[in-house]
Amino acid sequence: MNTNQNLILLRGLPGAGKSSFAELISENNSYPIFSVDDYFTDQNGIYTFEFSKNHLAYSACLNHTEQALKQGILKVIVHNTFTMEWEMQPYFKLAEKYPCRLYVMTVENYHGKHNLHEVNEEQIKKMAEKYHVKLF
């Protein structure tokens, strides 16, 4: 295991602060941050979600993460909702393929802010019902 290399998965519901926390721990963008949202965000920072392309966004995020691990980058950060454990499985496999320390962190919305992508409250409640945390 390369104990110098770290894969950090940040999970939480929309609006929890995953993006903000990812920026914080990236040490002034010294380390790469990847998200499914990147695929839907243009060069001007405008987010346009297209459900029919969601599978492409997940694939792109995973591929960017793998390339960073392959390059030996010491800290790779991924922030997605990851409401269900199976969504993290491909990243668990990458942590085995490119042996590194794997961290899974849940970010909670204690700041009371709303999500940037206008996911409605009903949808967030549905996501919350599926959300499980592995404590041991």
Q: What is the CATH number of the domain that holds 35?
A: 3.40.50.300
**Residue with token string 């969504």:** 87
Query: Chain-wide mean pLDDT for the chain?
Result: 91
Neighbours of 63 (CB within 10 A): 11
The verdict on residue 36 lying in a domain is yes
Task: For residue 15, tell me if it sits in a domain.
Answer: yes
Answer whether 105's CB lies under 8 Å from 22's CB: no
pLDDT digits (tens, 9 = 90+) for 4-53: 899 999 999 988 999 999 999 999 999 999 999 999 999 998 999 899 99
Domain span including residue 24 = 2-130
Per-residue confidence band for 1, with pLDDT thresholds at 50, 70 and 90: low
Residue 80: the pLDDT is 96
Q: Is 136 part of any domain?
A: no
Question: What's residue 44's pLDDT?
Answer: 94
Distance of CA 85 to CAs 82, 103, 112, Å?
A: 7, 13, 25
For residues 103 and 31, the answer to whether their CB atoms sit within 8 Å is no
Q: What pLDDT is stored for residue 133 in this prediction? A: 85
Count up the domains in the chain and report the number: 1
In a domain? residue 135: no
pLDDT tens string 45-55: 899 989 999 99
